[in-house]
Amino acid sequence: MGMSEQKVCIETSGKILQSPCGPIIHGLEDVLVKTTSITDIDGDRGILWIRGYRVEELAAHGSYEEVAYLILRGRLPNRRELQEFSERLKASRELSPAAVEVLRSLAKAHPMFALEAAVAAEGAFDEDNLKLAEALRAGRYKEEEKALAVKVAEKLVAKIPTMIAYHYRFSRGLELVRPRHDLSHAANFLYMMFGREPDPLAVRGIDLYLILHSDHEVPASTFTALVVASTLSDMYSAVAAAVGALKGPLHGGANEAAVKSYLQIGDPSKAKEVVEAATKPGGPKLMGVGHRVYKAYDPRAKIFREFSQEYVKKFGDPQKLYAIAEAIEREVLSSPYFQQRRLYPNVDFWSGIAFYYMGVPYEYFTPIFAASRVVGWVAHILEYWENNRIFRPRACYMGPHDVPYVPIDQRS
Ligand code: CMC
């Protein structure tokens, strides 16, 4: 086929491409891939429910451990169940020597690369993970295997904070700080990172962030986890792949990108200019603004905005990050460009500010997102395995057929 015969896709709306084989839902927007009882989002009204509870309720009253239990088991734990669950998480915080070695060898890499590799390494030596994968491949997914799957899922939730903290320590040539069994999930994470008793407001901030990000239906990372899990690979491999998807700036990487942009902007007085630049054709997107599902203010952003305000009230805003974000938000909310497209600040717009002031380097923001979302990833995998079918979509081939093979020395 010559150039003149080349087939083309015509974009008929933002989300549908007309191809010679039929319509393509670009980016799978609004395509349903599974049923779920974990999370529901009303994007028009800006409401998020986790297992039926409003995220505001969980954020105000729960802890990450409680919400993780809720996501995994479908109901809130009673006091004893919560205690036992927390104990199981604490008992699983340590890593295998293989994962520690991987983190050490990737000390100079971005922590998301290290996390992706460490999750895979840990999975290779987790007997429960291997046993579960074997059972699934043999077509067994009954009560015993389901219980084993929850056990593997809990271990992943327990270990990711340790991986992040260990990478941070290796990257700075510091001694590892072993997990402490008397601390909560959030407090222990900060303790392992910095090696000192964490500030209670910082612990609350991490806990809140972990709650807010715990699940969000089927974004790119969760879909990635499901695709890998659907092949009956194994749970750790699915989570490692999800970490890779989360790393991108259009997804979890936006919190890091947002804070970097505030640091670059440097002063709230530049907000108007920055927002205007983002409205120009081909201009840079504003990081932390816009969402595929929310066409209203992201409810998580509202909660974390309030927390960030509280945090800078207590500890100050020396780099003017909060002030810059506030000024950008004001411009965004009053801009016809953003209003027409229904683009609002999302959770990542606000989440990095307090982290930055806690002393968490910005390349660790997205890993903390992973430490939270892991519970959503694994819960969706468990749900999908109830009625597994491998994902295998199609592509519309646009190239030539039956091209004659030309030997290498006869090619121009
Ligand atoms: N700044 C400027 N313009 C934007 C932005 C932005 N942040 N986001 C979307 N637009 C424009 C986009 O250029 C397009 O304009 P037009 O109709 O003129 O072509 C229109 O809005 C629709 O955008 P889209 O890219 O088609 O929307 P999408 O649903 O494919 O993308 C998004 C959603 C979140 C990837 C996008 O809004 C974005 O890139 N935002 C910045 C990155 C970000 O904050 N990501 C974190 C998402 S929330 C956390 C998470 O779930 O991971």
Atom of ligand 1 nearest to the CA of 221: 52
Task: Provide the percentage of residues in the chain whose pLDDT is more than 90.
Answer: 93
Residue 275 near residue 328 (C-beta atoms within 8 A): yes
Convert the pLDDT of each residue in 10-45 to its tens digit: 666 668 999 999 999 999 999 999 999 999 999 999
Ligand 1 test: best mutation among 250, 297, 337, 338, most atoms within 8 Å of CB?
Answer: 250
Say how many residues make up the chain: 412
Average pLDDT over residues 154-166: 98
Average pLDDT over residues 91-117: 98
Using CA atoms, how far apart are residues 256 and 248, in angstroms rounded to an integer?
10
**Is 2's pLDDT higher than 90?**
no
Ligand 1 contact via 286 beta carbon (within 6 Å): yes
Average pLDDT over residues 144-169: 98
Distance (Å) from CA 346 to ligand 1 centroid: 10
Lowest mean pLDDT segment, chosen from 250-259, 273-282, 297-306: 250-259
Ligand 1 contact via 352 beta carbon (within 6 Å): no
pLDDT category of residue 367 using cuts at 50, 70 and 90: very high
30 counts as catalytic: no
**Residue 184: count of CB within 10 angstroms of its CB:** 20
Average pLDDT over residues 201-219: 97
Average pLDDT over residues 115-130: 98
Among 112, 152, 164, 163, which Cα is nearest to 236's?
152
Which residues are within 8 A (CB) of 412 and not within 5 positions of it... i.e. 6 or more apart?
Answer: none
**Is 4's pLDDT higher than 50?**
no
Which residues are within 8 A (CB) of 202 and not within 5 positions of it... i.e. 6 or more apart?
Answer: 190, 354, 358
**Is 387's pLDDT higher than 70?**
yes
Ligand 1 contact via 114 beta carbon (within 6 Å): no
| Mean per-residue pLDDT over the chain, rounded | 95
Distance, first Cα to last Cα, the chain? 18
Average pLDDT over residues 300-306: 96
Domains in the chain, start-ordered, CATH in brackets? 55-207+218-250+365-385 (1.10.580.10)
Convert the pLDDT of each residue in 368-378 to its tens digit: 999 999 999 99
Distance (Å) from CA 337 to ligand 1 centroid: 12
More confident residue, 253 or 295: 295
- In the prediction, which pLDDT does 250 show? 87
Among 339, 238, 205, which Cα is nearest to 279's?
339
Helix axes 321-334, 347-358, angle to 10 degrees: 170
Convert the pLDDT of each residue in 62-93 to its tens digit: 999 999 999 999 999 999 999 999 999 999 99
Residue 287 near residue 254 (C-beta atoms within 8 A): yes
DSSP string, 9-34: -EE-SSSEEEETTEEEEGGGTT----
379: exposed, middle or buried (Cβ count in 10 Å: 0-12, 13-18, 19+): buried
- In the prediction, which pLDDT does 36 show? 98
- In the prediction, which pLDDT does 357 show? 96
213 counts as catalytic: no
The reported pTM is 0.93
Ligand 1 contact via 292 beta carbon (within 6 Å): yes
- In the prediction, which pLDDT does 254 show? 87
